[in-house]
Structure 1
């Protein structure tokens, strides 16, 4: 369990929203976007890098561009504030195998069989929220064979291409038709050309 981010570190990294309500009670439609972006800017400014993890792949604050895209999508689909801003701060950890158990302070979302809109991405996401006023922190676990595919997918496909292309690439990857980055890029170009793969 010591390979996971400790609760004490997550508490230090947690940020209490200045919007004055439980995140579940904040209306995405009724709260001016400028106020939300100012709150997130304060979160970024208060960030302290306290993590030293041997299995840490990377960390990031969601960019303003990504925030805007997710905000617009969440408004379109009728989602709430907490759903929209559940991953402002995120970390990626690598394990050889997906763990069987997780610390109880995380909410676990199992994406090993893919997302609802399948784009080839497979992982497990863990969410930590100190309390109802704090923004959740997302910890992505990229394990086993999914690790390499997720790296290539995030570099070349994610946010840039149609989900169907990522799904096709993943199928070829698990069938060992793609074994390295160069083959991934070649197959991506192939699928972008509109071929049905035959």
Structure 2
């Protein structure tokens, strides 16, 4: 019988993720796409057990990386409850350990595998914060009229999907400082935000 997870994951990864779900046990939900996050972990609370949700609109490789990220939170909670930092050293070590079988099984194309191996040196709170990993996981053609923010010169005026208009400012570590034209408020944008000029 085919697994419900089959359309969402590389096929070699399905039995491992199914085993994790059943052994935990964990309520695992596939959700509609969320712009604010790719996945979410909730620890047991008020009679509810562990809960993980992952966006169903991710490609299989991004879905797998997000799923491993959330299971690393679950494992960290099982070992230490809420006594450690959510993305601290213990979570990073759990993430690396849980990712290992998928690297050994060659569940990823080489370009993605290379990016994951580099990311695993010091995993961060989100795959979005590593532009190299984000690009290879979410590689797709841009819709007509859209460009990545990082390709625009400073002081370029651009708009986002909601129609709000911003001016691109300087890069602060990993994100660009952009000022909304209507309000003068400052927002930080990812270099690979899809914008229109």
Task: Specify if TM > 0.5.
Answer: no
Bigger relative CO (Cα 8 Å, ≥ 6 apart): 1
Q: Whose strand fraction is larger, Structure 1's or Structure 2's?
A: 2
Q: TM-score, normalised by structure 2?
A: 0.29
